[in-house]
Structure 1
Amino acid sequence: MSKSSEEERELSEEERELLWAIKGGGGFSYGIITEFVIETFELPWEMIKFEINWNKSRYVPEDKIFAIRDSAPTPTLTVLKAWEDVIASTDSEANQLVGTNLKITARHAPENAPFDPHAVSHSCTMYGYWEGDEDSLLKFIHKRFKSTGYALRPIKDTDKAGRKYNSKTEGNGDRYVPYGDQLMSSWDRYSFHNVDRLMQGLEGLPFPPDEDQPAPHKIISRLVNAQGLGEEGHYKLLKSLTSPLVLPGNEGLGLVTYITLGAITGNYYEHVITPEQKTKSAFPYKDKLFTIQYQTWWNETDGQKKEAQNNEVFTRVNRALDWMDVCRNYDIPNTSGAFISFKDSSVPTKTYFDKSYEELVRIKQTHARDPFNHFCSRKTII
């Protein structure tokens, strides 16, 4: 049904097909949306943004590099398995985990060095949103990650929002936090602002992306099948993150390489999205467990840009992008596809739309009033 403040009516067959297509069919494929109506939902009573760290990378001034300084670092495999178990959980408490990412930083390995998937350690950070109070969150974290040697970043008042904090009564001491202002995150990138703070011996803080200098970057992706990576998949993923193409000292120069695993299913998602809703969009990967986003970001000041090939960042970027190419072609069992939000010109368009592709093409050919295909850019439908 199409709803507005003035009318409610049945959609035509053409409208139904176009509505299905634009929900997952990629931007700029079918036209320009000038107006839409959304159905709002009540804010949660309390929402907490939290962060858990393992093997935190610290700046070593004498060596001018970032390195894991823990005497007994946690194997990345332990962290990866624990996080994957959480997002695949059917426990009722998992309904309170509204969203989560796991960031794993790539690390240097000498050419032909022995690789032990059970021992290799990378710097890892889990980010999450929790619908509930701090006490229930801490119990959940302890239950799920107590064997991993985690370090929870202290939860501050500014990490909390929701109806509980969204009103203010004079004289009673309540605080007012506009919902969303304190829950912004920079999970999608590694801020050089924070790298610079860490090099000065200061603590890095969550940093809204639009307050940092835009940085050139590249992101490629694949998705993990519903059954999870499995043993061989875990080993291959960690191997792809341990590479001679990742040079020591990159981070201190503002060149960072890492992956972000993003949950797109799990108990929470099954709880809020009905089977009927799942059929109403063209997004083809609703049955996947999570995305793998390989990311490389590099930062250049105006002075470095003038130096062109003579600046240290420039001379290392090609090696980092070679790492991206190797990762894209890495044979990791139980993975497939690619996520359209992270387009790569070398990935065939059909890969992004999978089983929805042929129907998306048919709908565009049938309904689009665009004989010269002006609504077309790299990776749009036809």
Structure 2
Amino acid sequence: MLTTQPLSFVSVLFFVLFLSQPLSSLSQSPPPSSSDSVYNSFLKCFSDRTKSSQTQNVFSQSNPSFSSVLRAYIRNARFNTSSTPKPTIIVTPRSESHVSAAVICSKPLNYVLKIRSGGHDYDGLSYISDKPFFILDLSNLRDVSVDIAENSAWISAGATLGEVYYRIWEKSRIHGFPAGVCPTVGVGGHLSGGGYGNMIRKFGLSVDYLIDAKIVDVNGRILDRKAMGEDLFWAISGGGGGSYGVVLGYKIKLVPVPETVTVFRVEKYINSGAVDFVYKWQFVGPKTDPNLFMRMLIQPVTRNKVKTVRATVVALFLGKADDVVSLLRKEFPELGLTKENCTEMTWFQSALWWDNRVNATQTDPKVFLDRNLDTSSFGKRKSDYVATEIPRKGIESLFKKMIELGKIGLVFNPYGGKVAEFAVNATPFPHRNKLFKIQYSVNWKDNTAEIEKGYLNEAKALYSFMTGFVSKNPRSAYLNYRDVDIGVNDHGANSYKEGEVYGRKYFGVNFDRLVKIKTAVDPGNFFRNEQSIPTLPIAKGAEVPEPGTARRWSRVGGAAVAAMVVLHVF
């Protein structure tokens, strides 16, 4: 059993002296040194710990390769401009020991350490900051080791989903893994945020199939599931791994997939029944056969010079075309599905098809090994959850609003099936009992400050319009659809209160447990970003526990709280 330890005389004296400091000073880091001296200090430490010269893995802003390394995994062009804040150093580790060294060598330098795997963080929190920062880029840690006999695989945090699917396909045509449909998404962020894809109704979330994991903690230790303990393993299984350490990789359980699956796409417009189409989908998509996943895309378009809305079902059925046509003829006649709409293929080919490769059966599987570096468009994403079907009149008003706004689209992703069979606290992901998730999505090509403001305001306007139709108390959001509009954290004296605003939207009833785990494993809040899990404030006079020990928690304010928390940094 873990125990607490009493304060030493030196700790008490330091604590008393710390209380005399102005509250405002507690949230401010000492000013960083010049970038050259910081680079030299870090490089010396890093080289000493890795026992070799590491200039090829540590990039200063003056390095000729700095810009290309930075840009390679920026997936939102909004954060790839001349005015975007740049890191002082980029570290590209090639081994677990490199990651450990990077953590240890960063801590004394008072820089924020941003952790990036695939760079698909929608609001760029894995690679930008308004404070001096480093980037720990995990893209070189991309091993995927598949063991078909054991129905498992070890996947490194810097691998992409496309690489995972390809390596599984190399070994088997009847194994898969339930994760996302974008092949360039990084494993580290996707799984540590929950992870879902078009097999969510059959198998559940990606994190429902985690067996083991490795993480580098705040002390630079490399821990597996047994060493980190079940609390921390639970936290990084959907609670955002970057709040607690650097996730190195996960061991996953593979799932069985049939030799033949079916995909189809059917679209409707307002004048061809789109309102009834979308309304009825709400009663079928989340409740039909779990082998069927029907995503609904809703987009404002101009057709024959008339502004309208297009509603499109994009679907995967884990079975044959005849079976899904028969099923939906009964359950969803508004769809009008025929066998001619359907294409049968392997599960891996369906992953290619979902990546908008229309001729998936003729596509070279190796395209999933292409990371498409330094490619991005300007975009914004937001999210919501729906617990009760939207009335038909609500769908009509939604269409009118989308036509009025003109650009922003919606994606409805059905839940139900296996994902709802797990308890809401089985993992940090709390949204299992919802009917479906909404993604607000808008992209654009050319950009100015005025253009960007217009698109962002459009996203906010539609989000505001949907208030009456979505979850409440709190209004829920999905961590992997990062959205700074719902709250950010400056990690000052009000860190817990600021973190609670977005934290309860992302994690609901699981937020409090995540905060306790965060405070236990990283009490000095070294691992942080603008939406990371905050640490708990500790009451004046309470014992200061060592990292990893049990605690008595108390939520209070004031200088004493900040002092007690900051004390652990030193």
TM-score for the superposition, normalised by structure 1: 0.63
Gaps of 5+ in 2: 1-209, 213-224, 359-366, 488-501, 535-570
Between structures 1 and 2, the one with greater helix share: 2
**Correspondent of 1:318 among 453, 457, 468:** 453
Q: Answer yes or no: is the 8 Å Cα contact 1:233–1:332 preserved in 2.
A: no
Letter in 2 for 1:379: Q
Q: Does 1:219 align with 2:381?
A: yes
Q: CA deviation at 1:38?
A: 1.9
**Alignment partners' CA distance in 2, 1:381 and 1:238:** 37
Correspondence for 1:73 = 271
Letter in 1 for 2:351: L
Q: CA deviation at 1:20?
A: 1.8
Q: CA deviation at 1:362?
A: 1.2
Q: Answer yes or no: is the 8 Å Cα contact 1:221–1:292 preserved in 2.
A: yes
Q: Which entry has the higher C-alpha Rg, 1 or 2?
A: 2
Correspondence for 1:333 = 469
**Alignment partners' CA distance in 2, 1:374 and 1:240:** 44
Query: C-alpha deviations, 1:70-113, integer Å up to 9, x for none?
Result: xx822432111221111232x5xx1321x2210000358xxxxx
Q: Does 1:103 align with 2:292?
A: no
Letter in 1 for 2:248: T
Gaps of 5+ in 1: 5-10, 56-71, 109-119, 162-178, 195-206, 247-255, 301-307
**Alignment partners' CA distance in 1, 2:285 and 2:271:** 24
Correspondence for 1:114 = none
Q: CA deviation at 1:267?
A: 3.3
Change in 2 beyond 3 A, CA 1:236/1:359: farther
Q: Answer yes or no: is the 8 Å Cα contact 2:386–2:435 preserved in 1.
A: yes
**Alignment partners' CA distance in 1, 2:451 and 2:226:** 55
Correspondence for 1:66 = none
Correspondence for 2:262 = 48
Query: C-alpha deviations, 1:298-348, integer Å up to 9, x for none?
Result: 124xxxxxxx65xxxx86543332211112222323433111111121203
Change in 2 beyond 3 A, CA 1:229/1:28: same
Change in 2 beyond 3 A, CA 1:50/1:25: same
**Correspondent of 2:411 among 239, 257, 260:** 260
Correspondence for 2:511 = 357
Q: Per the alignment, in what secondary structure is the counterpart of residue 329 of structure 1?
A: helix
**Alignment partners' CA distance in 1, 2:338 and 2:372:** 27
Q: CA deviation at 1:151?
A: 8.3
Q: CA deviation at 1:236?
A: 5.0
Correspondence for 1:132 = 319
Correspondence for 2:25 = none
Q: Does 1:180 align with 2:348?
A: yes
Q: Answer yes or no: is the 8 Å Cα contact 1:53–1:125 preserved in 2.
A: yes
Query: C-alpha deviations, 1:224-245, integer Å up to 9, x for none?
Result: 11x33345654554344232x3
Residues 190-339 of structure 1 mapped to structure 2, 5 A cutoff: 213-225=375-387, 227-231=388-392, 233-243=394-404, 245-246=405-406, 256-263=407-414, 265-267=415-417, 269-270=419-420, 274-275=421-422, 279-300=425-446, 316-330=451-465, 331-335=467-471, 336-339=475-478
Correspondence for 1:142 = 329
Change in 2 beyond 3 A, CA 1:231/1:329: same
Letter in 2 for 1:323: E
Give the aligned CA root-mean-square deviation in angstroms: 3.6
Q: Per the alignment, in what secondary structure is the counterpart of residue 280 of structure 2?
A: helix
Q: Per the alignment, in what secondary structure is the counterpart of residue 222 of structure 1?
A: strand
**Alignment partners' CA distance in 1, 2:514 and 2:378:** 31
Change in 2 beyond 3 A, CA 1:54/1:229: same
Q: Per the alignment, in what secondary structure is the counterpart of residue 529 of structure 2?
A: coil
Letter in 2 for 1:160: M
**Alignment partners' CA distance in 1, 2:318 and 2:478:** 27
Letter in 2 for 1:216: F
**Alignment partners' CA distance in 2, 1:294 and 1:84:** 17
Query: C-alpha deviations, 1:186-214, integer Å up to 9, x for none?
Result: 57xxx8x99xxxxxxxxxxxx98966942
**Alignment partners' CA distance in 2, 1:12 and 1:222:** 35
Q: CA deviation at 1:185?
A: 4.7
**Alignment partners' CA distance in 2, 1:267 and 1:133:** 19
Q: Answer yes or no: is the 8 Å Cα contact 1:105–1:123 preserved in 2.
A: yes
Q: Answer yes or no: is the 8 Å Cα contact 2:430–2:508 preserved in 1.
A: yes
**Correspondent of 1:160 among 345, 353, 356:** 345
Q: Per the alignment, in what secondary structure is the counterpart of residue 38 of structure 1?
A: strand
Q: Per the alignment, in what secondary structure is the counterpart of residue 20 of structure 1?
A: helix
Q: CA deviation at 1:150?
A: 6.5
Letter in 2 for 1:284: P
**Identity percentage of aligned residues:** 20
Query: C-alpha deviations, 1:121-143, integer Å up to 9, x for none?
Result: 51111111101111112223333
**Alignment partners' CA distance in 1, 2:211 and 2:273:** 52
**Further displaced range: 136-145 or 286-295:** 136-145
